Chain A
Amino acid sequence: MIKLNDLKISYRIGNRVIEAVNGVTLTIPDGSIVGIAGESGCGKSTLMKAIYGDIQSPMSLSGGSIEYGMKGADGLPVTTQTIRREWFKSISYIPQSSMNSLNPVIRIRDQFTDFPGTDSNKKRVLERARAYIGKLGLPAEAMESYPHQLSGGMRQRVMIALATFFQPELIIADEPTTALDVVVQKEILLLLMEVQELMGNTILVVSHDMGVHYQVTHKMLIMYAGRVVEYGDTESVFADPQHPYTKMLIDSLPTIGDDSMRGVLASMAGAGGDRAYRVEPELIEVKPGHFMARPSQIVGAAA
């Protein structure tokens, strides 16, 4: 279980400080797929980086804390300071650009063994990896290949194989299917769900694609302006969105045969056009397991 306590992440640019994540309090249950949505600049990628523990200048943790609820090799609870030691052991990462996240001049095989991982015996790792990629629908020869010899879908399978090979407790996937065509997207998402069901790890998926969230995730987190506007079970969020911003996001999904939106800007429909929300950090529980930012504080036309 991961707990974020009033988490604040800021960027220092010259003398300005920008609070990209501005007070997020959340509990992510173990073994669930949590989707994170929101417009560009809403802080979702910063939140992911912070949870992954990749906090580097000019980014800094300016307030709050993250509890990972897992123990490191030394038996102490993992914190933001020690999470780096868990990279690709109990926490892993699937990058956005699978096309160029693999070193073009090194064989896939060697990219399975050039980091510490959980096992220092490279031969054993390779043997197990060879068997493992077969389960993910990759031919054994893929291990001996160079990245440019694999298709986009195969490369993303390699990324998933790398991220799940050591059976981590937490996987962070940053727009894992953005660069792929829809058919391959579906295959990759199904694969991710399959692996998750098998291993029972927690996956955080960042995506702009509400369709992806609807298909894959158990829980949805909607962010806006560095804060959470809504968080709840995916079914409930899609069926009964509470916050006008969430409604707009869901309305942005085109429906076959529905022409009512034709000629109308999506952001103008539903919420009345003014998107300058003020979002309060406190969440209220609307229904069991379904939270939203306090509505009375919303400035602008509410739906």
Chain B
Amino acid sequence: MAHHDHELVRLSADALAQKLASSEISAVEATQAHLDRIAAVDGEVHAFLHTAPDLSLATAAAIDQRRAAGESLHPLAGVPIAIKDVIVTNDMPTTSGSRILEGWIPPYDATVMTKLRAAGLVPIGKTNMDEFAMGSSTEHSAYGPTHNPWDLERIPGGSGGGSAAAVASFEAPLALGSDTGGSIRQPAHVTGTVGVKPTYGGVSRYGAIALASSLDQIGPVSRTVLDSALLHDVIGGHDPRDSTSLTDEWPSMADAVRRADVKGLRIGVISQLDGQGFQTGVLERFREALDVLAAAGAEIVDVSLPSLEYAIAAYYLIMPAEASSNLAKFDSVRFGLRVNPPGGGTVEDVMSATREVGFGAEAKRRIILGTYALSAGYYDAYYGSAQKVRTLVQRDFEAAFGQADVLVSPTAPTTAFKLGQNTGDPMAMYLNDIATIPANLAGIPGISVPVGLAREDGLPVGIQFLAPARHDARLYNVGGALERMLEDSWGHTLISLAPDLAPGEMTAAQEGAV
């Protein structure tokens, strides 16, 4: 073989796709290389909850056959992709990180899966996540945490830590995530990868197990901005099965990256997210990135989101309220776990016993909090007020976008913290999401792009750009331009600095080639 696994898995999705299109490598080879990589490193990383090698290889073989028959295929056909376990798949178990769905194989595919399969991408496994996407560290997964490939004792972010760690450790070039308050963007920040939360309604959520329906959004996860754009172009667009799906015609996100240019772009720095409470090394890399953008002709202006201090409070009322309602469907009747209490009981007794055993601590905490926020006598003070704060946050963004084309902040206040550091203090965990939550409240799109390593701990830092609703392409423009300029100045990608998780692997591959 001319190509070693070790090299194949380090290719971007775009580069891999070109080699597939020219038949330089086969989809089976590409898939096998990533399965081998998973076998080599996932014991330590634990990005995956489930893989199905035979199934993935059969999917890949079918792509190779179609290509050999001369069929015209989608540019990404044959490229492996990891799927966050919140997304239902009709051929692999789907648990959403919860015991209550252990072993459940859904009877249908999410629309994003239908689109991926139609484009010929190869689903390679289901990735770990905080239970029902409730968390910022994957420590709330019922199946144990995922470890950050940059430092295995640290969190990979959450809730989509599995998808971010999978691309960061070269187990897959692409992954799907879901973002309710930052679950795509914050994991990208702490793993030195790229993650995009599209405009609310821009990507179908049919078949995404709902956490908070007015906030949830599926989006791409990758190592490069172009790869996220290519995936966005596959999964985006209207879906009649999702009543919140937008009917807009979307421009090509990949074209926005390829034509990236920030000359004359007005970039608004969110003053509330540029100082207090942020780690020094995070702010240093952030401000350096702003200098790079300014040098390329962008106009950097200051903007203010005065309601921001109330955004987290509003989020931690709206999200649990909607979650408590969405999770009522786990009733031990139609799918998932059933636990019969000792001595039997009514269907309600069985339901209560099942939910006690099936839900983890964080799910219970949020269900109880949401039930409280929605209960008679408290509804106006909590849920009603939180919805008004949502209006104020939207007005802040409207004013800010009057002064700037995109807004910018660090993606999260700190680099990856140690596993176990915040598990005893729910409020401390919730504050990680200060920079990412506002976009979900307002329905606007956001991207996190790596900008370097923090001086004090050598861990990745991400920058977040936000755009007005429906202007996702602006994120790919500014993100693509910044990535190119930073990599030109470094002379390499950031992810190439990540520690080698399987140092023996290259030797083995070389020996195998003899």
> Do A and B interact?
no
